[in-house]
Amino acid sequence: MADSKQLKRPNWIKTRTTGVDGFKDTLNVIKTRGLHTVCEEDLCPNIGECWKNKTATFLIMGDVCTRNCGFCNMKTGRPFALDENEPDRVAEAVKDLGIKYAVITSVTRDDLEDGGALHFANTIKSIRKLNPDTKVEILTPDFKGNVDAIKTVLEAKPNVFGHNMEVVKEFHSRVKKPPSSYDASINFLKKIKEIEPSSITKTGVIVGVGENKSDVFRFIDDVAEAKLDVLTIGQYLTPTKSHSPVVRYATLEEFAEYEEYGKKAGLKVFAGPLVRSSYRARMIYDSICNPLN
């Protein structure tokens, strides 16, 4: 997958510096509580901005994933046993940082019968117990389509239930390996709505892996047809030189076209080079639930 010819990053992709006050506070809390974040593990380009503002996306159930996708920086292998105290430590970190909108995600845990659904539910409950005013958004793996696992999570009433499709249909099987599949992911998201029609569902995709604009428009159609609520579209950035290379950089105008197209299809689409599914998640939630704020 490595490619010595990396495209030059365009000047509209600017990331902020780390090391400022809020950033250090966030880092201290995460390290003191012994937690992982996807911000660090996936080398997110927004870490400077998010951590400065004391927001982070907590990565539960360890930092070792049982799947191995071409664009992801996560370690793969055999994960450790679940840490039963982790939900409480996440809740404490949320309190330490004064987070009013917490985002929780995980590695894929195909080794667990329920894929980690109960651990997600326990984390939501722990956060709420210690931080009654905090909203919780979750971004889960596909639980291999296990309907009981979806119900377990829904019973804990997350404010937003997300699962990332990651790439458009035409490139799914190239960068994601079974048991991941495009249909499995979209069916998973449809199932959430089917079980709990009032839930807010969210998915995200990255562009720049080789797709063209028509592929992305078709993808938006699929998401709209599945009656999901929110779609985020961002630019793929190679985590390291050994990962799949960036094939092209979408322009700002192109991202604006996707937002416009999605809007016409009845979707909330947030698109931009540095948009990630957890980026400015609270703002997106507020724009849906409190549109006048």
d(C-alpha 222, C-alpha 186), whole Å: 8
Q: Are strands 57-60 and 135-139 parallel, antiparallel or unpaired?
A: unpaired
Q: Considering only residues 27, 30, 35, 50, which one is a binding residue for ligand SF4 as defined by CB under 6 A?
A: 50
285 binds ligand SF4 (CB under 6 A): no
- Minimum separation from the CB atom of position 170 to ligand SF4 (A): 26
Nearer to ligand SF4, 42 or 196 (CB): 42
C-alpha pair distances (Å), 126 with each of 26, 87, 122, 195, 197: 20, 6, 6, 23, 25
The tokens for 226 are 């599945």
Contact window for ligand SF4 (CB under 6 A) among 40-48, 159-167, 189-197, 222-230: 40-48
Contact window for ligand SF4 (CB under 6 A) among 39-47, 122-130, 137-145, 164-172: 39-47
Site track for ligand SF4 across 220-259, x = CB under 6 A: ----------------------------------------
Residue of 120, 15, 69 whose CA lies nearest to 244? 69
**Whether 82 contacts 112, CB under 8 Å:** yes
Calculate the dihedral angle through the C-alpha atoms of 8, 13, 17, 18, rounding to the nearest 10 degrees.
-90
Q: Considering only residues 273, 276, 282, 285, which one is a binding residue for ligand SF4 as defined by CB under 6 A?
A: 276
d(C-alpha 231, C-alpha 272), whole Å: 12
Nearer to ligand SF4, 44 or 231 (CB): 44
d(C-alpha 272, C-alpha 274), whole Å: 6
- Minimum separation from the CB atom of position 51 to ligand SF4 (A): 7
74 binds ligand SF4 (CB under 6 A): no
- Minimum separation from the CB atom of position 136 to ligand SF4 (A): 14
**Bond preceding residue 87 cis, omega within 30 of 0:** no
279 binds ligand SF4 (CB under 6 A): yes
46 binds ligand SF4 (CB under 6 A): yes
The tokens for 47 are 């870490």
**Whether 198 contacts 242, CB under 8 Å:** no
278 binds ligand SF4 (CB under 6 A): yes
C-alpha pair distances (Å), 183 with each of 70, 99, 235, 285: 18, 34, 22, 26
Nearer to ligand SF4, 150 or 231 (CB): 231
- Minimum separation from the CB atom of position 105 to ligand SF4 (A): 8
Contacts with ligand SF4 by CB under 6 A lie at: 38-39, 44, 46-47, 50, 55-57, 276, 278-279
